[in-house]
Amino acid sequence: MFQRIKGSIDRVIAEEQARQKIVNEQADPARRSSSVTRSTSGASNSRKPRPRKPGQDALKNDDGAVNPDPAVFEAAFVIDDDEPSRATTPRPPTDEKAPQNGDSSEKGDTGAGNTKEAENNGDDEGKSEGEKPVPPPKPVAAPELPPEVRARLRKLEKLEATYPELLRSYRIAHSRATSIEPFERALRENTPLTSIKDPDALIEYLQQLNLKGDMVMEELKRVSAEKDDFKKKHDAADKEITELKAKVAALEAAKAEGGSTVTEKPETEQTDAQAQTSPRPSDVKSPAQSVLGMFSPKQKPTELSDVKDGDAEKTSEDFFSYDNELPQLQAEVESKNGEIEKLKVEVETLKTELATAKENSAGLVENLEKASRELSETRDSAATEQSLQAQINARDSEIKTLTDRIEQSESQLKDLQTQLEAEKTATAAAIKEKEERLAETSALHAELESGLAKVTEAKASLDTRIVDLTTEIKTLRQSKLDNEQKIEGLTRQLQTAPPTPSTTAPSESLDVPPAATQPSSSNKKKNKKKKKGGAAAAAAAASTAPAETTAGDASPQPPATPVDGPSVADLQVEIASLKSDVTSKDEQIERLSKQRKTEEELREEIETLRENLVDIGDDHVQAKDKIKNLVAEKKQLQERIDELEKELESSSSSAKSNEKLQGEFDSLKVEFEDLKTKSSTLQTDLGAAQQLAQTRYKDLTELREVLQKAQPELKSLRQEAATLKSTKEELASKTAELRAMEKREKELKTEVSRAQRLATDRDSEIKTLREKLTAETNAKLSLENEKRVAGRDLRKAENEKIELSAKEEKATRELQKLQDEMTKLRPRVKELDAECTKLRKEAVISKEEAELKTSQYTNAQNLLGSMRDQTHELSIQLKESQSQAESLEEEIAECRKLLNERTREAETMRRLLAEADERANSKTREWQDRIEEAEKERDRFEHEMLSTSRRTNRQLEELRTQLRDVEREKKTLAEVKDEFEHKEREWKRRREELEAVEAKADEEVNGMRETVNGLRATLDASEQQVRDAEKARNDLRRSLDDYRIRYDKIAKELKIAQAKVAATGIHSPAGRSSMDSQRSGGQAGGVDAVYLKTILLQFLEQKDNKLRAQLVPVLGKLLSFDKSDEQKWIAAVQQIGSR
């Protein structure tokens, strides 16, 4: 603000000076001096940039400031599909590329047209750099993208509606940045400060300026007071000289005869004294010249004349004290004449000393200039040292906090890495166990399906068998009733026979009915039990009663023939045969009832199996729900693992940035130590310089006027130095940006390598899992086949045992036949027993394996619990690391701005990779869900198979007599075998489908690899861009070296010009001493105006606005301002007050 005000006032003053000097040139063109030409040239130079004032924000070339017009930003921020967007910073690259056009900048340093040409050249070059073809990654990966990804990309294109909001927010941030940067640029140009971040340094700078102003005002007051004292002394000396003249005239009149020679010399002396002590009109009219003339070596002879006048006054007083003694006076006059001659000799010697003093003064002026420069440099260095110290302290604190954060983040990263490794191992083990269980459940599922098919077939056969048995029971009961009727008829016939057989016949007839009635009563009891058991059994019991009546017609036919004979013996034989038939039929009825019981028990078991199937279905649904929950938890774990990996990457990038900060801090420490050493040496130089300044400050006031005349040239040189500083700062910022780009490129390379490693690891894991799956499925299939063969052998052995038991029961009736058969069948029985023992051992081994698998399942559940606890802890640690990451991201946000577009492209590719990974993971999860479901079904079917095996063992023990049913079962087993072959075909077909799914997964993996190759291509393109940026940086370094060479040349020229100005300022007063006495007051008035303007500027820079406003009309009277000039001055003062 202060420097802007100063610049505006300088412009107004330069214009006013130019106007006045044009008027002076028109009035008296022959009176131009070198100082006036310099001031006019400075004014012209200062007036040239004035037309740029309305568009300074648009055409500023000092710093990389931004045009606040949003249209410029919109033109730079347009996102096209064909062309890559430019860098995120919307700075026009005018100053960056202007150094390359060295010739144009050298020819027109001050002209506005040349600066515009340099800006246009810089814009063209910036456009050429911004429009370098960056190979976009989308065309590489677009052909292989699936339709889902394309649909999502279309959705992202629809999301461009949020672009205006982003643009509006960017405009707000842009306007804020533009309001900060001009102020910082003004600080850099006009002060040793660089940014707003150091208010203490600004306060110190302002205090130093105030001290300078106070010192100048004190010196002015002191010089004005000394001038007044000298005037008083001069007036007193003039009065004394007039009195002496009157006394000398009286003496001459009295002593006209003898003192003619004596009086002539004093008259010459008096004339000389009048010439020396007479006040110059220029000194009377211009107080500024009188003040400056006091400190100039030109006034020293006048001081010597004053000393001489004092001596003359003393002698004149002595002369007047002895008026009556004329001879004494004559002697004194002679002595005075001798003294006058001596004084003349001394005057000549003093003149020679004056010349030497002038030469020494020139050297002193140079030394003073050097001392003043050193003073300003030391003050600036002290301010910069203090600011650097504050910056170093702030950097120390920041570095300490960052190192603490880095250590914490590294420890957390290590913990997270260990936890991730543990989780990965645990999940891998759990997946393996689940796959094993899935294979086992699939095998059990197949076995249970086969068992169910067998049970259903056995049920159907049993139903048919029950129907046959019921029909047989009915026929047997009917035959029994017929036999009983026949027995009753025979007993009636026997009653007509003799009494001896009649006594036997009734007893026998009485014995027969209970035998017949007992099974019926037992059958009734059995029917009652069956009614209590269930409706099906009741129906079967109810069907037995009518069956007894129907079955009676077929059985009595064979014994019906002996009734025709009337003999008792025949009748008794028939009764015995009938009794034997009745007993045999009772036995058959009992057997059939037992078979019926077994069939009813089988029905009950089938019903229990159905209920178990319902329970299994419910358990299956619950297991599906649990599997869904586990899958959701696994997804959450995967997301957390991805987040942790991202945090690892961000923490590694923050560690790199912290290393960079540490290096900068070390360099700043080294610079601070160098500055300390320099400050110590400068302080010693300061002591000597202050002493020299105290002794030579009087001589320095003479050179101020010359320096004020040289100020316009110095301002132009300062502006060039400021532009050089801004170019240096821009080069430093560009080098920092290039370093950040290089670091970002390295980070992207590491990320791509990590992605490749993860992809290869996943491919290897998938391959190993698939190999394990195939091996386990093959082993399970072989085990299933072995189990089936063993079951068939068992069944065959049991069937043979049943046959052997049946043959043993029949062997009591047919011993001879069965002994031959037994001798044949014994070796077969032994073989079957050996096979049975083998099968039992295998069953024990399978049970042990099942127990091991159950223990593994429990271990897996425990691992899942521990994994959940670990995930909870990881979530807590994630929140902490997220809070730390947010703090780190705020610090790294400035670096990320430079690579937003590259990160966007990388994010799109990462999204595609993530979607592909999610698809693969979802497919693996679906297969894992299926595997888990099959495992659960297998466990349930194993349990059911154990129960069914126990029940079938009981049934086998009870059904040894059912040979015919076993033969039927052989047929059913053949059918079951066919069904199993059909199921094997289905399993093969499913296996082929699984292989097709694996092939699809491999294709997806290949697509992922292709996307990775596309990312590599984009990385190569970014590397090419970085190389181009390095080339540009080298060009900038070359231009910086050129600027440095130019700066050194300009500095040398400035020193030469300052030496010339100092020489002209020293020699001109002595050369023009005679001319100044002859000139009129017009020239003096011009010099007074320049001097008053410079003093007034210094005063305006320090004091209040009210005093400034009051002094404007005074300046108008002194400097002959117009109304427009006064209005401009008042407007400048008001702008200073508003700012």
pLDDT in tens, 322-341: 455 667 777 777 777 787 88
Which of 186-190, 313-317, 430-434 is the most confident on average? 186-190
- Per-residue three-class SS string for 474-500: HHHHHHHHHHHHHHHHHHHHHHCCCHH
120, pLDDT greater than 60: no
* 92-96, 373-377, 844-848, 862-866: segment of lowest average pLDDT: 92-96
Query: Can you list the alpha helix ranges (DSSP code H) found in 109-198?
Result: 112-130, 138-141, 147-158, 163-190
Q: How far is CA 735 from CA 65, 388, 746, 919, in A?
A: 18, 21, 17, 43
Average pLDDT over residues 702-708: 69
Residue 41's nearest CA partner among 112, 105, 110 is 110
Model confidence at 107: pLDDT above 70: no
Mean pLDDT on 278-306 = 41
Instruction: Output the DSSP codes for 1079-1125.
Output: S-HHHHHHHHHHHHHHHHHHHHHHS-HHHHHHHHHHHHHHHT--HHH
Q: What is the pLDDT of residue 502?
A: 40
The residue type of 212 is K
pLDDT of residue 534: 43
Average pLDDT over residues 397-422: 77
The pLDDT of residue 210:
92
Question: CA angle 212-216-219, nearest 5°?
Answer: 140
Q: What is the DSSP letter of 79?
A: -
What is the rounded CA–CA span in Å between residue 825 and residue 218? 144
Query: Cβ–Cβ contacts within 10 Å for residue 435, how many?
Result: 21
Least confident piece of the model among 220-234, 298-312, 656-670, 904-918: 298-312
Least confident of 119-128, 245-254, 421-430, 901-910: 119-128
Average pLDDT on 173-187 reads 85
Which stretch of 683-697, 951-965, 1073-1087 has the lowest confidence by average pLDDT?
A: 1073-1087
pLDDT tens for 923-941 read 888 888 888 888 888 888 7
The listed range with the strongest mean pLDDT (224-228, 267-271, 373-377, 1120-1124) is 224-228
pLDDT of 297 > 50? The answer is no
pLDDT band at 211 (very low <50, low <70, confident <90, very high): very high
- For CA atoms 396, 400, 402, 406, the dihedral sign is positive
| Type of residue at 562 | P
Residue 32's SS3 state is coil
Band (pLDDT 50/70/90 cuts) for residue 118 is very low
The answer to which of 160-174, 221-235, 366-380, 462-476 has the lowest mean pLDDT is 366-380
Q: How confident is the model at residue 567 (pLDDT cuts 50, 70, 90)?
A: low
- Contact present, 92 and 119 (Cβ < 8 Å): yes
Cα separation, 724 vs 731, in Å, equals 10
Q: Which two tokens stand for residue 982?
A: 């059909």
Name the residue with higher pLDDT: 286 or 195.
Answer: 195
- Distances, alpha carbon 675 to alpha carbons 191, 384, 385, 395, 732, in Å: 19, 9, 7, 17, 20
Task: Give me the mean pLDDT over the 610-635 stretch.
Answer: 77
- Choose the weakest-confidence range: 10-24, 266-280, 504-518, 1011-1025: 504-518
pLDDT at 1: 55
Token pair listed for 470: 């019921």
C-alpha distances out from residue 986 to 451, 778, 991, 993, Å: 18, 15, 9, 10
> Is the confidence at residue 743, as pLDDT, over 60?
yes
From CA 895, how far away is CA 393, in angstroms rounded? 23
Instruction: Report the alpha-carbon distance of residue 164 to residue 434 in Å, rounded.
Output: 52
Where does residue 1022 rank: exposed (0-12), middle (13-18), buried (19+ CB within 10 A)? buried
What is the rounded distance in angstroms from the CA atom of residue 1067 to the CA atom of residue 1062?
9
**1089 — pLDDT class (breaks 50, 70, 90):** low
Give percent above pLDDT 90 in the chain. 1
Radius of gyration from C-alpha coordinates of the chain: 63
- Is residue 704 scored above 50 in pLDDT? yes
Please report where in the chains the tokens 């290089």 appear, as a residue: 742
Q: How far is CA 800 from the centre of its chain?
A: 79
- Phi, psi (degrees; rounded to nearest 5) at 143: -65, -35
Q: How confident is the model at residue 480 (pLDDT cuts 50, 70, 90)?
A: confident
Spatial distance between the Cα atoms of 562 and 536, rounded to a whole number of angstroms: 43
**Contacts for 723 with CB less than 8 Å, ≥ 6 apart:** 61, 62
Higher pLDDT, 566 or 570: 570
What percent of the chain stands above pLDDT 70?
Answer: 67
Distance of alpha carbon 690 from the chain centroid = 55
- Asked whether the predicted pLDDT for residue 753 surpasses 50, the reply is yes
Average pLDDT of the residues of the chain: 70
Is a pLDDT exceeding 60 seen at residue 511?
A: no
Greater model confidence, 966 or 1132: 1132
Categorize the per-residue pLDDT at 156 as very low, low, confident or very high, splitting at 50, 70 and 90.
confident
